[in-house]
Amino acid sequence: MNKIIIFIVILLLGVSSLIIFYRENISAKLSENLNDNLEKNWGDDHPKFTKDNLKVDLLDLSISWNKLNILAPVFPQGHVINSIKNIDSSNCILEVSLALNINLDAVCEEIRIGYDLFEWELYQNLNISKSHFILFGYDRNIFEDLYGKQGNHIVTINTNNLYINNTNHGHYRIEYYFQDEDTIRININKNDFTIKRQKEGLKIRTPYSNFFILNQNFFQL
């Protein structure tokens, strides 16, 4: 038994030494692969990325960048995703925490979001979108694929300057995770929100009122 423990200790020390010794080479290769993937054109229904000085640090388990701009994908006219024009971030670092659970923590000096305003109609204490819809089946990746990649891991985003349509709203802390494949829990500056997928569409619960975005497929059946 002692020999096995000693072997495991030596193996761990050896692997750790190799990682530390080749840290820069491995980090450079990971950075190259990540940049190559972000530069690929996956089609109009996938986001486009432009970036500056995006680097991976293996030992720190982090990704940093000076600028990362995301151009939203193009979906059918009126789709809720089309309301998002761009998400631009500056001077950020994303760290992976391996404590009790795997968490992702991003800190940015500035985040800018451009989007179209929604039109809502009040119906039985529920604000229903008149201008945008969701389309389950066409864009199943919004929940299934994202949940499959992220699981129940918590993502936290801190920014000193959150610009929405060029208006600076100051410091924001956003935390979200998937409760299950149909439910996203969000905390924004200590206010709780829930996005729930139903066959009829998306229900958004806020501390102030509730909103609903219709699933066009359901109402065309």
Overall average pLDDT of the 145-165 stretch: 83
pLDDT beyond 50 at 221: no
Neighbour-count burial of 107, counting CB atoms closer than 10 A to its CB (0-12 exposed, 13-18 middle, 19+ buried): middle
62-71 and 201-205 beta bridge pairing? unpaired
Per-residue pLDDT reduced to its tens digit, 170-185 = 999 999 888 888 888 9
Cα–Cα dist 55/62, whole Å: 8
- pLDDT at position 98: 72
DSSP label at residue 142:
G
Cα–Cα dist 76/105, whole Å: 33
pLDDT beyond 70 at 215: yes
The dihedral sign for the CA sequence 204, 205, 206, 212? positive
Q: What is the mean pLDDT of the chain?
A: 79
Lowest-confidence pick of 85-89, 160-164, 176-180, 216-220: 216-220
State pTM to two decimals: 0.80
Most confidently modeled of 54-58, 113-117, 185-189? 185-189
pLDDT beyond 80 at 138: no
Q: How confident is the model at residue 101 (pLDDT cuts 50, 70, 90)?
A: confident
Per-residue pLDDT reduced to its tens digit, 14-43 = 444 444 444 566 677 777 887 788 888 877
Cα–Cα dist 125/172, whole Å: 28
3-state DSSP assignment of residue 202: strand
Cα–Cα dist 176/151, whole Å: 11
